[in-house]
């Protein structure tokens, strides 16, 4: 056990997702804006389900989220629900999640699980995965300890795997 802990401390920390591989542009393209309005209208209408065409148009927003959810072990249903939440907020703010402030992330995540459930009515336990997205992709450090606990539990990793000293 001590040898394993020592080995983990000796190796350099590697972030679970490679942020350099993503287009982290802050503004939405014209095509992305149109697709977001189609999927999740600002007026609160029902919108449409995410389909292949939508996924292709919104690839630079969806793929990083899919990568994080792959890491956290979320299923496809969690992805669809979580992506609709992020897509609606991106449409409302008229910019990508890469540019959201900590207060905007707090608003999306809601102060409590109960408020989150009331607001979004998600199918499944979406909020912890959304917290992981905000932390791993946007470095929203306000949730660092909570995200560390969730991710170590979900992935059976140690704190050192996330660059956090408990």
Q: How far is CA 121 from CA 14, 56, 65, 96, 127, in A?
A: 35, 26, 20, 23, 11
Look up the pTM and report it: 0.79
pLDDT at 159 over 50: no
**pLDDT at position 15:** 77
Token pair in block for residue 107: 């608003």
pLDDT tens, residue by residue, 76-107: 999 999 999 999 999 999 999 999 998 899 89
| Per-residue confidence band for 39, with pLDDT thresholds at 50, 70 and 90 | confident
The domain segmentation of the chain, as residue ranges, is 24-162
């Amino acid at each position: 056990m001590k040898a394993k802990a020592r080995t983990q401390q000796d190796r350099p920390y590697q972030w679970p997702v490679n942020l350099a591989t993503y287009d982290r542009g802050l503004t939405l393209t014209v095509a992305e804006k149109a697709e977001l309005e189609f999927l999740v209208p600002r007026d609160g209408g029902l919108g449409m389900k995410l389909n292949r065409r939508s996924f292709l148009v919104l690839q630079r927003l969806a793929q990083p989220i899919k990568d994080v959810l792959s890491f956290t072990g979320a299923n496809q249903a969690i992805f669809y629900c979580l992506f609709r939440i992020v897509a609606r907020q991106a449409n409302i703010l008229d910019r990508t999640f890469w540019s959201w402030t900590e207060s905007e992330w707090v608003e999306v995540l809601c102060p409590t699980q109960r408020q989150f459930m009331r607001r979004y009515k998600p199918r499944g336990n979406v909020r912890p995965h959304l917290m992981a997205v905000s932390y791993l992709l946007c470095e929203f450090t306000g949730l660092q300890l909570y995200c560390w606990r969730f991710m170590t539990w979900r992935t059976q990793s140690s704190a050192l795997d996330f660059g956090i000293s408990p």
